Structure 1
Amino acid sequence: MNLISRAFAKDAWSILGWKWPVLALLTFASAIFEGATVAALLPLLSSFNVGSSGATDRISRIFSNALDVFGLTATPQTIAVLIVVLITGSAAIFLCQSYLAARLHSAYVASWQRRIFSTFLAADYDFFVSRRSGDLVAAVTTEPARIGLVFSQLNVSFAAVLFILVQIVISIFIAPLVVVLMLTFGGLLFAFTRRWAKRAMDFGGDLTRVNADLTADIGEIVAGAKFVKATATEDRAAARLSNAADRMELLFFGNAFDTQVVRAIFEYSGGFVIVVLLLAGPAFLNVDVSMILVIVAIFVRLFPRVTGLRQSMQIADFHMPAFNEAMRLVHEAEMQREVITENAPAGWPGATPASILIEHLAVELGSRLVINDLSLAIPGGAFVALTGHTGSGKTTLLDCILGLRMPTSGKVKVDGYDLRSLPSRSWRQGIGYLGQDPMLFNSSIRENLSWIRPQTTEADMRAALDAAAADFVMRLPNGLDTIVGDHGGRLSGGERQRIALARALLGAPRLLVLDEATSSLDAETEDTVTKALSKLKGRITIVAISHRPALVQEADVVINLNEGRAEEVGALWAVSAVS
């Protein structure tokens, strides 16, 4: 854990900066005040003539000199007032420390959530395709909370260490031999309980994996709720979730029980030591009764802190794998960070429909050549339909045009420029995209339409809805303020597609990309959407993957992809396939 702990401390420092040392100073001050409160018991007892020794006299002189500075005499009443002041000061510092610790904890967790999510979004498309969604969702939702627990427990551990050190220093003035014996005994206890700390790390690593599994399972089952209900497979879905929940239950139980085992070892061993100290202290250690009472008072307060220190370290060990996993995913996302070109050629992008030229394009996915030496031209304003069997490379070609996937060889040119030399954000902002399952947020139609262009006016929305044959929206009781439900579930498939098409058109795109956008529509709705697309010909370049006759017939050119190569079918534009 040591290497990870150092990495954790370095990370926390980089995020929290000077506020963390301030928390450490407050923690140190709290420990000093608590220690001084206990130490003040010695001169108080001495003033009542309860025991006397050189150690007692030394501590009494320290307090007497401190009171002299303020012109006070070390009477029992004065010392009692001093103890009250120390207790009050300790409480005030504790509240300040707790407030700052809570603020830093919440800030650290929020910082990690933003960091993970922003790093993921900055990664290229392959980063998302090559990973399970459950791992990514858990990294954003679950792991930062666990990282926050590590932060809290390390702060608790630090406070416990300071408190223990202060108490040890005070005890050394009273009975150094007793302190040596107690430190030796405490060290043996820590060494003996190390095995449980190791188990906590193992449990925590397993929990990270189970969290990802459970998140993935829940996401899949909730997204496929209609399938689960329609096939009466609720029991199988519940069993799948129950399996992950059972694994999580065992991990939490194992760690919780181990924590209590460690607590029992420390507490009962501490009680045993105190009994031995009371019985053997005066006779064998040459310590008077007053010092025995103070030492007992110290260690009655000290042992819970020692126990808490070990428990805090164990909890930190349990959750530390979350930090390790988050760091790993962030590092991988940074390694796959999308290369963004900022400089654009003079006059680009223009206002005319985008022209696209594919030159000897080849794309490998793993060991499979998906697109093989493909060349074709798509003039600005053309309506091109891509057809072909599953796996022929249609979606991969669209990904290359969108700039989401870089080709293994060859070029994609836009308006005569190599796409890799163009600013990808500017290019994509000029693209309208509509997939088979349109992405709609669980909010109003107005908010969904303004997702790409937040400054969109209601007049623009109405015009886009009309162009997308989605004028039904204005006939809804709440119009643009209608809530569409999760993934647009309160709307029909055709209504979702038309709203998504309107959203795509709101950006005044130069290129409209349709990925099986009409494949799940009924004939009437498909005809409505197809007619809306037909009106856009010549104004926008349209590239659509489709096997539906209605849409294919509206296309200016149909390109059939076979084994990664293009076969011209009824083309009106120059299309070539290089073999």
Structure 2
Amino acid sequence: MNNYRWLYNLSKPYILLFLLSLLGSLIQSSGATALALLVKQVVDNVLILKNQEELLKYVLLLFSSALIIQVGFFISSFTLSYISEKVIYSLRNEIYEKLLYAPINYVLYTPSGELISRIVSDLEQLRQVFADYIPKLLREPLVVLALFGVLLYRDLFLTLLILLLFPVMALFTKYFSEKKKKHLSRQREKVALLTSILSETLRGFENIKLFLAENRFIKDFKELSFRIFRSSVKINLYVVGNTVINYTFGYAVVSLILFAGGYRIVKGDITTGDFISFLTALFMIQKPLMETQKAIMNLRGSAPIFERIRNLLNVPEEKDGSEEFEGLKERIEFRDVSVKINRKEILKNVNLSVYRGSKVGIKGHTGSGKSTFVKLIPRLLEYEGEIFVDHTELREFKLKSLREKIGFLSQEVMVFRGSVRENLLIAKPDATEEEMLKALELAKCDFVLNSPEGLDKFLEEGGKNLSGGEKQRLALARIFLKNPEIVILDEATSALDPKTEEEVIYNLYKFLKEKTIFAVAHRPFIFNFCDVILEFEGGRLKEFSTSKENSIKL
């Protein structure tokens, strides 16, 4: 029931368009009714009496009725198609926005294939619900009711005989919809896993080649592909089986009616025109009746799709505070701070204070908690304990105002498809060309400055036309451009050669001389610029040391 209420809420903004579609359905059903009723007149008044004068009139009336059916069908179908596209357009945008404002843990620990499958594949399935199943449920039952009225009007006995067989159809609908629902749920899960494998393959393509792992990935892909094939075959089996049984059942009903109707004509209970009109309505009612039954089956069978999309829409947003972050005035204080992810304790009881303007170097083995620690400052992760920034708990700040004044640069650089200019402007949307060129110069981005295209140099998806070092230098240019209050570098120069790294780091610390900097690094060189050294081990702060002055003068 919740799924249908959700579908209703999605449809509510388009109620006027639904009414227009309903009008189209009424026009279509009135045309179908007129067509079925006219058949009696054609048989009794024209064919049996051989009345040539009435022939043209009834032919024109029949054609007019058919035209009315098509006009109503167009109004109903096009309106509902527009609604379906509009619903999916709005929903697609809402889901993407929801995803961007979701807690980072949700995105990091949900398989990318699962998310992509829900946004692309599941929404396409939902579009089919609005474009096909719902239109049929709004249009076809009205045609069925109109033609059913003709059946009642022409022969009550034969109509009651048909009604006795309806419960059989209801059982077929229930059985096939439950089967489709079960296998559709399995298919969606497998499609999400297949998308994940494709994503992993493209991300690690070079490593797959170098480790000669093609056969292993092909094996996994084929196994999953076969499971999808098996689920899809079963879905199609039940859909086609349902259609075959429905039409077979319909033919059986027609056969029964032919026998019973012929018997009543022989007895003189009805005229030939009445029976032909009844048969016409019966033949015309079969298709909309089957389509209605099939739409009900498909709608009920689509429940797993609705639940997957609703779960994505119900992902909570990051918890926001109410205080504006004006910038660091005095210090950041960590009090018994711990971090647990999936019940695993990553950071344990960290206590320290970092004063404004400090240059903090952070070292430790892989997995010691360094990256987790620095991610707490822009509140990318939830934590236990307290972090005070100038006597205000970090959670109380508005995320927008906090992150506006923080520059975070990790080892994994985001470069999106577009120009260098567009990639820089995400750091400072109102930056001038002069500011961007200066940032590129400080970051040693010679590959841009020496390029004929300059700021308009085109970058491919993920920066595929850049080396690892070039991507990191472009990311560093963003930091120079943003000029934030607090800078966090998480192995941000790991892909640079030693000479370039020394030049860029020197420029960075000189340019941000008055700012607070946290630098996670494995290379000791960077620590020469730091006046505070933190060492993590096993999630704990193992060592805290300070130096009165840096060993490198800026």
Q: TM-score, normalised by structure 2?
A: 0.91
Match 1:96 to one of 75, 78, 87: 75
Deviation at 1:123, TM superposition (A): 2.1
Match 1:466 to one of 441, 454, 460: 441
Match 1:153 to one of 130, 133, 139: 133
The C-alpha deviation readout for 1:92-133, integer Å capped at 9, x for no partner, is 222122221111111111222122222222222222233222
Q: Does 1:405 align with 2:381?
A: yes
Deviation at 1:519, TM superposition (A): 2.7
CA contact (8 A) 1:15 1:111 kept: no
Mind listing any 5+ residue stretches in structure 1 that lack a counterpart?
52-73, 575-579
Q: How does 1:212-227 map to 2 (within 5 A)?
A: 212-227=192-207
Match 1:126 to one of 105, 115, 122: 105
Deviation at 1:232, TM superposition (A): 2.2
Deviation at 1:569, TM superposition (A): 5.3
Question: Equivalent residue of 1:251, what SS?
Answer: helix
Aligned AA for 1:394? K
CA contact (8 A) 1:442 1:488 kept: yes
The C-alpha deviation readout for 1:206-256, integer Å capped at 9, x for no partner, is 122112111111111111111112222222222222222212212222111
Q: Does 1:315 align with 2:295?
A: no
Q: Does 1:433 align with 2:408?
A: yes
Match 2:231 to one of 251, 255, 278: 251
Task: Write the distance in 2 (CA, Å) between the matches of 1:357 and 1:386.
Answer: 16
Deviates more, 1:132-141 or 1:80-89: 80-89
Task: Write the distance in 1 (CA, Å) between the matches of 2:486 and 2:15.
Answer: 47
Number of the residue aligned with 1:358: 334
Question: Equivalent residue of 1:192, what SS?
Answer: helix
Change (3 A) 1:25 1:543: same
Match 1:442 to one of 389, 411, 417: 417
Change (3 A) 1:355 1:326: same
Match 2:326 to one of 333, 337, 349: 349
Deviation at 1:284, TM superposition (A): 4.3
Question: Equivalent residue of 2:302, what SS?
Answer: helix
Deviates more, 1:115-124 or 1:211-220: 115-124
CA contact (8 A) 2:329 2:390 kept: no
Q: How does 1:38-437 map to 2 (within 5 A)?
A: 38-48=36-46, 50=48, 77-151=56-130, 152-284=132-264, 286-331=269-314, 333-334=315-316, 337-344=317-324, 348-350=325-327, 355-409=331-385, 411-437=386-412
CA contact (8 A) 2:76 2:139 kept: no
CA contact (8 A) 2:358 2:531 kept: yes
Q: Does 1:542 align with 2:540?
A: no
Question: Equivalent residue of 1:178, what SS?
Answer: helix
Change (3 A) 1:354 1:29: farther
Task: Write the distance in 1 (CA, Å) between the matches of 2:443 and 2:356.
Answer: 21
The C-alpha deviation readout for 1:45-72, integer Å capped at 9, x for no partner, is 3432749xxxxxxxxxxxxxxxxxxxxx
CA contact (8 A) 1:42 1:294 kept: yes
Question: Equivalent residue of 2:237, what SS?
Answer: helix
Change (3 A) 1:477 1:232: farther
Aligned AA for 1:103? Y
Deviation at 1:495, TM superposition (A): 0.7
Task: Write the distance in 2 (CA, Å) between the matches of 1:452 and 1:35.
Answer: 65
Task: Write the distance in 1 (CA, Å) between the matches of 2:182 and 2:548.
Answer: 63
Number of the residue aligned with 2:26: 28
Question: Equivalent residue of 1:199, what SS?
Answer: helix
Task: Write the distance in 1 (CA, Å) between the matches of 2:499 and 2:29.
Answer: 76
Name the Cα RMSD after superposition. Answer: 2.5
Task: Write the distance in 2 (CA, Å) between the matches of 1:122 and 1:193.
Answer: 41
Question: Equivalent residue of 1:381, what SS?
Answer: coil
Q: Calculate percent identity across the aligned residue pairs.
A: 23
Number of the residue aligned with 2:482: 507
Number of the residue aligned with 1:528: 503
Task: Write the distance in 1 (CA, Å) between the matches of 2:28 and 2:378.
Answer: 59
Aligned AA for 2:204? G
Number of the residue aligned with 1:453: 428
Task: Write the distance in 1 (CA, Å) between the matches of 2:345 and 2:230.
Answer: 45
Task: Write the distance in 1 (CA, Å) between the matches of 2:162 and 2:3.
Answer: 27
Task: Write the distance in 2 (CA, Å) between the matches of 1:255 and 1:161.
Answer: 25
Number of the residue aligned with 2:552: none
Aligned AA for 2:147? Q
CA contact (8 A) 2:322 2:396 kept: no
CA contact (8 A) 2:333 2:387 kept: yes
Change (3 A) 1:470 1:157: same
Task: Write the distance in 2 (CA, Å) between the matches of 1:212 and 1:159.
Answer: 34
CA contact (8 A) 2:36 2:281 kept: yes
Deviation at 1:76, TM superposition (A): 5.4
CA contact (8 A) 1:255 1:318 kept: no
Question: Equivalent residue of 1:527, what SS?
Answer: helix
Number of the residue aligned with 1:56: none
Task: Write the distance in 2 (CA, Å) between the matches of 1:452 and 1:261.
Answer: 57
Deviation at 1:570, TM superposition (A): 4.6
Number of the residue aligned with 2:527: 552
Change (3 A) 1:117 1:231: same
Mind listing any 5+ residue stretches in structure 2 that lack a counterpart?
550-554
Task: Write the distance in 2 (CA, Å) between the matches of 1:18 and 1:339.
Answer: 37
Deviation at 1:278, TM superposition (A): 2.5
CA contact (8 A) 2:405 2:484 kept: yes
Change (3 A) 1:5 1:284: farther
Number of the residue aligned with 1:60: none
Task: Write the distance in 1 (CA, Å) between the matches of 2:511 and 2:543.
Answer: 23
Task: Write the distance in 1 (CA, Å) between the matches of 2:2 and 2:355.
Answer: 56
Task: Write the distance in 2 (CA, Å) between the matches of 1:476 and 1:150.
Answer: 51
Aligned AA for 1:267? Y
Deviation at 1:567, TM superposition (A): 4.1
Deviates more, 1:270-279 or 1:97-106: 270-279
Number of the residue aligned with 1:37: 35
CA contact (8 A) 1:171 1:295 kept: yes
Question: Equivalent residue of 1:514, what SS?
Answer: strand
Deviates more, 1:207-216 or 1:15-24: 15-24
CA contact (8 A) 2:133 2:299 kept: yes
The C-alpha deviation readout for 1:509-537, integer Å capped at 9, x for no partner, is 11111112123433233323322323234
Deviation at 1:271, TM superposition (A): 2.2
Task: Write the distance in 2 (CA, Å) between the matches of 1:161 and 1:354.
Answer: 71
CA contact (8 A) 1:432 1:505 kept: no
CA contact (8 A) 1:357 1:375 kept: yes
Question: Equivalent residue of 1:387, what SS?
Answer: strand
CA contact (8 A) 2:425 2:431 kept: yes
Question: Equivalent residue of 1:456, what SS?
Answer: coil
Deviation at 1:353, TM superposition (A): 7.8
Aligned AA for 1:37? L
Aligned AA for 2:209? K
